[in-house]
Amino acid sequence: MSRLLLLFFFYLILSGQTNYKNSEKFYKAQPNTEGQLIYEEMGCVMCHGHQGMGDGFLSAGLNPKPRDFTSYEEMKLVPYQSMYSAIKHGIPYTSMPAFQLTEKQIDDVISYVKSFLTENHITMTTCANSPRVVSLENIDIEGPFKIEIDKMNYVETSINGKQLTITPKLVSLLKAYKKDRKSMLRVHINLIKEENNKKDYLAIIAMRLGNCLK
């Protein structure tokens, strides 16, 4: 029996019961985050503005204009990797410079930028074999809503009442760790309502999935 299959059975045993003691919760008043501090201290506000609307005091003289982080129409075309590259390497022929930040700092900034689309934003780190539960008690999930996952092969979700369970897909993750030569992978989960071709972000969950089975 292959090592991968053994790990899969090990995963099934460990994940037989979800650990509800480690459940996460969205809070109405979001505290300052590391991403916010970096965003402000590195001068992002000068172009993108304090509210992420692309209206900083330098924006009037820039071409192209800074991106509006509060606009779904703007942000739907910008995947995580593009944001990562823009922060790390800058964007040629624009006023976007490169920043000397660690991978975690860049991830924190991206999480903060995504929070401009909704007040309900949370970032959490978990192991590839550990399901996580998120309380939706502060989220307006009355009526139809959708769950968007940017990397469907990394996790699956289920909802029971006001609880959202996020279960990593261990086999797919182990293959991705090996292929990408990384011990940490990321996935974003969005809860949205859609009406007249417009999306309202109810909540954004950014997950760091660590390979704890090395």
Angle at 129 between CA 128 and CA 133, to 5 degrees: 95
Angle at 7 between CA 5 and CA 12, to 5 degrees: 95
Q: Which fold has domain 31-117?
A: Cytochrome Bc1 Complex; Chain D, domain 2 (1.10.760)
Tokens 């991106």, residue located? 67
For the chain, the structural domain boundaries read 1-30+119-214, 31-117
Tokens 């975690």, residue located? 104
Question: What's residue 28's pLDDT?
Answer: 54
CA distances from 174 to 15, 78, 81, 94, 137 (A): 16, 26, 20, 38, 33
Higher-pLDDT residue of 12 and 63 is 63
Question: What's residue 14's pLDDT?
Answer: 44
Q: What is the spatial distance between Cα 74 and Cα 82, in angstroms, rounded to a whole number? A: 13
Tell me what the mean pLDDT of segment 141-164 comes to: 91
Question: What's residue 9's pLDDT?
Answer: 45
End-to-end CA distance of the chain: 18
pLDDT bucket at 17, cuts 50 / 70 / 90: very low
> CB-hemisphere CA count at 13 Å for 204?
20
In this structure, which CATH number among 3.30.300, 1.10.150, 1.20.120, 2.60.40 belongs to the domain 1-30+119-214? 2.60.40
Q: Tell whether the model's pLDDT for residue 79 goes beyond 90.
A: no
Higher-pLDDT residue of 211 and 213 is 211
Tell me what the mean pLDDT of segment 111-131 comes to: 86
Using DSSP, state whether 132 is helix, strand or coil.
strand
Residue type, position 12, single letter: L
